[in-house]
């Protein structure tokens, strides 16, 4: 298959981990006979330096006409206090690509059980995915703001259509996995959650093979620590998803391991690691490339429908960890520390 990918390395460790992901994609190209045409464009701080704009129109145009977008990370102290903010480039591109469904897998890789704050027996079988609504809810709706110094307001608004499109994605994902979906809301007090629950129940009728349950968000927060292996796909609104997915991310034990996908209805999806630009370790060849590499695997799976290829990458990650190769962030006393490049070499060798 031929696919076009816009690559936005960004700032800090972004370019270092992106280089690793591109080497892994090259290995996939030759093993599975695909052709990926990669166009690299600036975003964030790098784009501010080059053009004065964190999301130059040329970058946006290239993203819109490609099949998928891979992003490293943006930001850093160099741009603190400037009028133009690198992070605006990221918010803007999410908005322009209309990526309303944010997927965050949380998978406990068994060799990493020793760095998780949870007990090994609790995390053993954890393999879940959050589907977070990304463009609506409390963070965006009007009215919003301050009136005088004593009053402030935010509005939790959802239109049925905004709920439908993200819930539908979650059902499709659940159907492609184990057929189990948990919808998280606060329907005992919030009207928006009552609507959310209604829509979930309606869409459920078109997916007879998916078993749905509803869970209140406070209970979900507790269950994620008490017994995370009970979940498979979790769908929820923007703010609940923001908080719960950060909570659950600790199951794996490192930010450097986590991937994400942001999907739209038809157009290019955006795939990026959960971590930021990590300016404290940028340029030292010590960053964990696995979050970025696993984001590239999500691109293959969710945008290109290349499941076998994505599985191959995930399996290579598992094998590299089994063989005790680790960057500093996932190191234990017993393991020696590998560089970013060494981790990537080990992956490529196995692919």
| Nearest CA among 82, 78, 99 for reference residue 90 | 99
Q: What's the rounded Cα separation, in Å, for the pair 194 and 185?
A: 8
Residue 339 known to bind ligand? no
Name which of 42 and 276 has its Cβ closer to Mg ion. 276
CA dihedral 309, 312, 316, 318 (to 10 degrees): 120
User: Please, what is the minimum distance in Å from the beta carbon of residue 255 to Mg ion?
Assistant: 8
User: Please, what is the minimum distance in Å from the beta carbon of residue 347 to Mg ion?
Assistant: 25
User: To 5 degrees, how large is the angle CA 210–CA 262–CA 110?
Assistant: 70
Q: From start to end of 237-330, where are the E strands?
A: 259-263, 269-273
Q: What's the rounded Cα separation, in Å, for the pair 186 and 12?
A: 38
Name which of 173 and 320 has its Cβ closer to ligand ATP. 320
Element (H, E) at 63: helix 57-64
Residue 330 known to bind ligand? no
The answer to whether 276 contacts Mg ion (rule: CB under 5 A) is yes
CB-nearest residue to Mg ion:
276
User: Please, what is the minimum distance in Å from the beta carbon of residue 282 to ligand ATP?
Assistant: 9
Residue 286 known to bind ligand? yes
Q: What's the rounded Cα separation, in Å, for the pair 171 and 303?
A: 17
Q: What's the rounded Cα separation, in Å, for the pair 63 and 45?
A: 18
The answer to whether 56 contacts Mg ion (rule: CB under 5 A) is no
Bridge partner residues of 8 (DSSP): 71
Name which of 12 and 269 has its Cβ closer to ligand ATP. 12
User: Please, what is the minimum distance in Å from the beta carbon of residue 72 to ligand ATP?
Assistant: 10
Q: Which stretch binds Mg ion (CB under 5 A): 153-161, 274-282, 287-295, 320-328?
A: 274-282
Q: What's the rounded Cα separation, in Å, for the pair 341 and 22?
A: 12
Catalytic residues: 139, 186, 218, 242, 246
Q: Pick from ligand ATP, Mg ion, none: which does 329 bind, CB < 5 to 8 A by kind?
A: ligand ATP
Name which of 54 and 276 has its Cβ closer to ligand ATP. 276
Residue 279 known to bind ligand? yes
Q: What's the rounded Cα separation, in Å, for the pair 263 and 94?
A: 9
Q: From start to end of the chain, where are the E strands?
A: 2-10, 35-40, 68-73, 101-107, 127-133, 145-147, 151-153, 180-185, 211-216, 233-236, 259-263, 269-273
Is 25:297 a contact under the CB 8 Å cutoff? Answer: no
Residue 66 known to bind ligand? no
Give residues in contact with ligand ATP (CB under 6 A).
Answer: 13, 73, 75, 255-256, 275-278, 280-281, 287-288, 291, 327, 329
Q: Pick from Mg ion, ligand ATP, none: which does 61 bind, CB < 5 to 8 A by kind?
A: none
User: Please, what is the minimum distance in Å from the beta carbon of residue 274 to Mg ion?
Assistant: 8
Name which of 242 and 329 has its Cβ closer to ligand ATP. 329
Residue 301 known to bind ligand? no
Sort strands 145-147 and 151-153 into parallel, antiparallel or unpaired: antiparallel
Name which of 111 and 276 has its Cβ closer to Mg ion. 276
User: Please, what is the minimum distance in Å from the beta carbon of residue 121 to ligand ATP?
Assistant: 27
Residue 246 known to bind ligand? yes
Q: Which residues are annotated as a binding site for substrate?
A: 94, 104, 132, 218
Contact positions vs Mg ion (CB under 5 A): 276
Q: Which residues are annotated as a binding site?
A: 94, 104, 132, 218, 242, 246, 276-288
Q: Which residues are annotated as a binding site for Mg(2+)?
A: 218, 242, 246
């Amino acid at each position: 298959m031929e696919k076009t990918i816009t690559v936005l390395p960004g700032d800090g460790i972004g370019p270092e981990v992106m280089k690793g992901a591109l080497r892994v994609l090259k290995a996939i190209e030759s093993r599975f006979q695909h052709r990926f045409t990669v166009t690299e464009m600036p975003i964030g701080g790098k784009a501010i330096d080059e053009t004065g704009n964190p999301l130059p129109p040329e970058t946006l145009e290239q993203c819109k006409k490609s099949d998928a977008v891979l992003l490293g990370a943006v930001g850093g102290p160099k741009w603190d206090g400037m009028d133009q903010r690198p992070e605006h480039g990221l918010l803007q591109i999410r908005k322009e690509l209309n990526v309303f469904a944010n997927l965050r897998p949380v998978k406990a890789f068994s060799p990493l059980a020793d760095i998780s704050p949870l007990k090994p027996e609790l995390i053993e079988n954890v393999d879940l995915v959050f589907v977070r609504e990304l463009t609506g809810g409390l963070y965006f709706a009007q009215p919003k703001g301050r009136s005088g110094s004593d009053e402030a307001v935010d509005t939790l608004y959802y239109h049925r259509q905004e709920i439908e499109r993200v819930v539908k994605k979650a059902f499709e994902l659940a159907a492609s996995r184990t057929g189990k979906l948990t919808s998280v809301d606060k329907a005992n007090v919030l009207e928006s959650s009552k609507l959310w629950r209604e829509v979930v129940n309606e869409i459920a009728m078109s997916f007879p093979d998916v078993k749905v349950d509803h869970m209140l968000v406070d209970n979900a927060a507790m269950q994620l620590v008490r017994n995370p292996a009970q979940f498979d796909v979790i769908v929820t609104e923007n703010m609940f998803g923001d908080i719960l997915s950060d909570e659950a991310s600790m199951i794996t034990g490192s930010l450097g391991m986590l991937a994400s996908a942001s999907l739209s209805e038809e157009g290019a999806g955006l795939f990026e690691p959960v971590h930021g630009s990590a300016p404290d370790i940028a340029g030292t060849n010590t960053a964990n490339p696995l979050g970025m590499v696993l984001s590239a695997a999500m691109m293959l799976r969710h945008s290109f429908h290349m499941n076998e290829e994505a599985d191959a990458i995930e399996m290579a990650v598992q094998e590299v960890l089994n063989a005790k190769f680790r960057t500093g962030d996932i190191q234990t006393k017993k393991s020696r520390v590998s560089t970013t490049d060494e981790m990537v070499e080990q992956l490529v060798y196995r692919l």
